[in-house]
A and B are shown apart, each in its own frame.
Chain A
Amino acid sequence: MLNTVMNQAMKMLANKTLKTYRSYPSSRSALVLVDVQNEFLQADNSGWQSVAKVADGVGFKQNMSSLIKFSRAQGMHIIYVPYTDNILPVFETPAHQLMKKHIQAKGEIAQASRSTELDMSILPGATDTVVTDRTGLSAFSGSGLHQHLQDESIEHLVFAGPLINIGLDSSVRDAVEFGYHATLITDCAAATSKIEYDMAAKVTFPRFCQTLLSNKDFQTEVLKLA
């Protein structure tokens, strides 16, 4: 009981400060799409099938399409960080094995690429950035992402992706550690099971991610602040 009350009090204390971070000037904000690639979007791919239940439950594809269109219209930076076959750890974790299984399912090099089946707004446009040198679960691992963001003076990172407790989790933890204001769009995220999604979105992310918003609330917030 004491534990629960103290936990709530701690969260309220932190939230007061964290709310002041919510500002998304387009030139200093980037939408970072982790593992948003064919393998986890197209219906006939095992990657999509593994997350489909949770994804459909939160309206992942519709929300993702809406989020990307909105962020582009606002002039924010759009950055895709797909899971590629550059990720070759000496010691594979079950998470690596899961990712490898899905990106190799069709024997194709895993990169976000155009597809006739998908709403085209989910896929990279000509002016978007695609980071292909990532070497770990985190989008920052081994990649030039941090340097790119520093070069562009980007401070606010808005995260979305299909695997909330794998790539998204590692990436958002790193982002906050590196000094960014990180926002997770909760209904533009999914997982291979509901418990993974719920534990991440409701329990663990609030411990390290400064802002968690639905797609609708994020858009409202951006428009209000603009």
Chain B
Amino acid sequence: MQQGLALKEQTIKVISMEYPSKNTALILVDPYNDFMSPKGKAWPLASKVTKEVNLIEHMQAITQRCRQQGWTIAYAPHHRFKKGSFSERKYLHPSQILQQKSASFKADSFGSEFYPSLSPQAGDTISSEHDCSSGFTGTNLHEQLSNKGITHVVLAGFLSNTCIESTARSAIDLGYHVTLLDDAVSAWSPVDHKAAVEVNYPLLAHRLTNTRNFLRAFHMETSPC
């Protein structure tokens, strides 16, 4: 009993130190209908891993908990496709070629709307759209987070080894403390997901955890001892 209490206090200290509420942001990457709705264009491809890791439920639970905690909720949205998108680029990113062919996340369409249960609320931070994979490159996300004094970020969304990993790698090089959750991200295929969460995330994340342990840490922090 004594040992349990000591452990709880120790955990509380670690969580509070690691995630100062005023300085921490949850970044939701590409939570669009095209990825998350069964009617979405990318659903047939991403749904296998999305369902396996129970991503939608996890993203909802994490977002709700982070809101209660008073964290900044930031959105890093992918480029919304429109006629002439990428015409100024000589060499397209492979994802841009696919977006051109599939017209995924088409501007002013159902597919590029945020998934209803994860839609932004008043006061949330919404970054300008990223053209390729990283939520930071060519966007105002870093400026917005810096202005709010954010030093710690937690990432969730799509896709494990492309936009999420690129955003994490940019965040690391920009000096943020980065937390990754192996069941709050999804990929085009199980092997893509594995390449990210089992192979690269352990090298990249300052903290690698899963939704259950992440939420439990909050619970312990706010529970009366």
Q: Enumerate chain A interface residues (CB-CB to B < 8 A).
A: 2-4, 6-7, 10, 13-14, 17-18, 21, 89-95, 98, 135-138, 141-142, 155, 165-166, 169-170, 173-174, 176-181, 195-196, 199-200, 203-204, 206-210
Q: Assuming the A-B contacts A6-B44, A93-B205, are A207 and B90 also in contact, with contact meaning beta carbons closer than 8 angstroms in the complex?
A: no
With a 10 A CB-CB cut-off, give which of B166, B188, B199 has the most chain A CB atoms.
B199
- Cβ of B199 and Cβ of A199 under 8 Å apart? yes
- 27 A/B residue pairs, CB under 8 Å, sorted by A: A2-B44, A3-B44, A3-B189, A6-B45, A10-B45, A13-B97, A18-B94, A91-B177, A92-B206, A94-B204, A95-B203, A138-B169, A155-B90, A170-B172, A173-B133, A177-B93, A177-B132, A181-B90, A195-B199, A203-B161, A203-B191, A204-B192, A206-B94, A207-B162, A208-B133, A208-B162, A210-B93
Q: Which residue of B lies closest to A156 (CB)?
A: B91
Instruction: Quote the shortest CB–CB distance from B15 to chain A (angstroms).
Output: 16
Instruction: Quote the shortest CB–CB distance from A174 to chain B (angstroms).
Output: 7
- Cβ of A89 and Cβ of B172 under 8 Å apart? yes
With a 10 A CB-CB cut-off, give which of A136, A176, A196 has the most chain B CB atoms.
A176
Q: Which residue of A lies closest to B205 (CB)?
A: A93
Tell whether B16 is near chain A: CB-to-CB under 8 Å: no
With a 10 A CB-CB cut-off, give which of A2, A89, A91, A178 has the most chain B CB atoms.
A91
CB-contact partner of A204 in B45, B93, B200, B203, under 8 A: B200
- Cβ of B132 and Cβ of A176 under 8 Å apart? yes
Q: Assuming the A-B contacts A6-B45, A179-B91, A210-B91, are A200 and B173 also in contact, with contact meaning beta carbons closer than 8 angstroms in the complex?
A: no
- Cβ of A93 and Cβ of B192 under 8 Å apart? no
- Cβ of B45 and Cβ of A177 under 8 Å apart? no
Instruction: Quote the shortest CB–CB distance from A102 to chain B (angstroms).
Output: 14
Tell whether B98 is near chain A: CB-to-CB under 8 Å: yes
The interface residues of chain B, by DSSP majority, are classed as helix
Q: Assuming the A-B contacts A91-B175, A137-B173, are A18 and B97 also in contact, with contact meaning beta carbons closer than 8 angstroms in the complex?
A: yes
Tell whether B178 is near chain A: CB-to-CB under 8 Å: yes
Tell whether B48 is near chain A: CB-to-CB under 8 Å: yes
- Cβ of A3 and Cβ of B91 under 8 Å apart? no
Complex Cα distance, B189 from A3, in Å, reads 7
> Which 6 interchain pairs have the tightest Cβ spacing?
A136-B173, A199-B195, A141-B173, A181-B91, A91-B177, A95-B203
Complex Cα distance, B194 from A21, in Å, reads 29
Instruction: Quote the shortest CB–CB distance from A149 to chain B (angstroms).
Output: 13
CB-contact partner of B175 in A90, A95, A181, under 8 A: A90
Known contacts A93-B205, A177-B132, A204-B161; 18 additional CB pairs below 8 A are: A3-B44, A7-B45, A14-B94, A89-B175, A90-B175, A91-B178, A94-B204, A137-B173, A155-B91, A165-B199, A174-B134, A174-B170, A176-B132, A179-B91, A196-B199, A207-B95, A208-B132, A209-B94
Could you say which residues of chain A place their CB within 8 Å of the CB of B192? 203-204, 207
Tell whether B83 is near chain A: CB-to-CB under 8 Å: no
Q: Which residue of B lies closest to A98 (CB)?
A: B203
Q: Assuming the A-B contacts A165-B199, A169-B169, are A208 and B94 also in contact, with contact meaning beta carbons closer than 8 angstroms in the complex?
A: yes
Tell whether B89 is near chain A: CB-to-CB under 8 Å: yes
Q: Which residue of A lies closest to B89 (CB)?
A: A179
Complex Cα distance, B134 from A177, in Å, reads 8
Could you say which residues of chain A place their CB within 8 Å of the CB of B138? 177
Complex Cα distance, B195 from A174, in Å, reads 19
Complex Cα distance, B169 from A174, in Å, reads 9
With a 10 A CB-CB cut-off, give which of A98, A138, A204 has the most chain B CB atoms.
A204
Complex Cα distance, B174 from A92, in Å, reads 12
Complex Cα distance, B200 from A98, in Å, reads 13
Q: Which residue of B lies closest to A10 (CB)?
A: B98
Q: Tell me the chain B residues, 170-225 only, with Cβ under 8 Å from chain A.
A: 170, 172-178, 188-189, 191-192, 194-196, 199-200, 202-206
Instruction: Quote the shortest CB–CB distance from B173 to chain A (angstroms).
Output: 3
Q: Assuming the A-B contacts A3-B48, A155-B90, A177-B133, are A93 and B191 also in contact, with contact meaning beta carbons closer than 8 angstroms in the complex?
A: no
